[in-house]
Structure 1
Amino acid sequence: MMNYKGYIGKVEFDDEQHIFTGEVINTRAVITFQGSSVEELEREFRNSVDDYIEWCKEDGVEPEKPYSGRFNVRIYPQLHQRAAVGAKMLGISLNSFLIKSLEDELNLMHI
């Protein structure tokens, strides 16, 4: 994965066309890029992000920020209760418990 100004790019190799193709994966906006070498891919990734930010500026809209750190989660009541009890048992807030749980799971996935 690539990171530039907080925008994360995921890259794949197209073995038919022999090029790298990439997409910014942490926004709803569609931001893509491609290159035939690692250097070109990195440059085009940065250019695509900069172009997106410039386009937003020219259009008078705020560029979509890569995640605000806030999101709502809907879970069933029994899981909510178990999480709240787990947090109390550890002596931490429910928010801290959920952050820890997400971090633990993502670490197992090496993300």
Structure 2
Amino acid sequence: MMEYKGYLGTVEYDAEAKLFHGDIINTRDVITFQGTTAAEIEKAFKDSVEDYLAWCKEEGVEPEKPYSGKFNLRLSPELHKEVAIKARKLKISINSFVEKAIIDEIAAAH
């Protein structure tokens, strides 16, 4: 995975075409890049991000921010209740409870 200005790119190799193809994965906008060497693919990735940001500026459109820190989470009413009760017992917000649970899961996965 590659990162530039907060945008994340993944790269796959197409053996038939002998070409690296990449996608920026943390936007809804479709942003791709390609190259035949590691140096080319790195440059193409950065150029694609810069082109996207320049296009947004020209069009007067706000570029999609890779991660705003906000996301919607849907739970069953029963689970929502359990989370609220547990968070209250811990004297923390539901948001803090969910954030802690996610951090704990990520740490356990490493």
> 1:107: how far off?
4.1
TM-score (norm 1): 0.87
DSSP 3-state at the match of 2:29: coil
1:52 alignment counterpart: 52
Equivalent residue letter for 1:32: T
The 5 A counterparts of 1:27-42 are: 27-42=27-42
TM-score (norm 2): 0.88
DSSP 3-state at the match of 1:41: helix
2:7 alignment counterpart: 7
- With over 3 angstroms needed to count, the CA separation of the structure-2 counterparts of 1:36 and 1:107, relative to structure 1, is farther
* Cα deviation digits, residues 21-54 of structure 1 (max 9, x gap): 1101111110001111111111000000000000
1:97 aligns with 2:100: no
Q: Percent identity?
A: 56
1:84 aligns with 2:84: yes
Distance of 1:32 and 1:92 partners within structure 2 = 42
Unpaired runs of 5+ residues, structure 1, are: none
Unpaired runs of 5+ residues, structure 2, are: none
Distance of 2:14 and 2:82 partners within structure 1 = 45
The farther-off stretch of 50-59 and 79-88 is: 79-88
DSSP 3-state at the match of 1:68: coil
* Paired residues, number: 110
DSSP 3-state at the match of 1:3: strand
1:65 alignment counterpart: 65
DSSP 3-state at the match of 1:22: strand
> 1:108: how far off?
4.6
> 1:104: how far off?
2.9
- With over 3 angstroms needed to count, the CA separation of the structure-2 counterparts of 1:79 and 1:24, relative to structure 1, is same
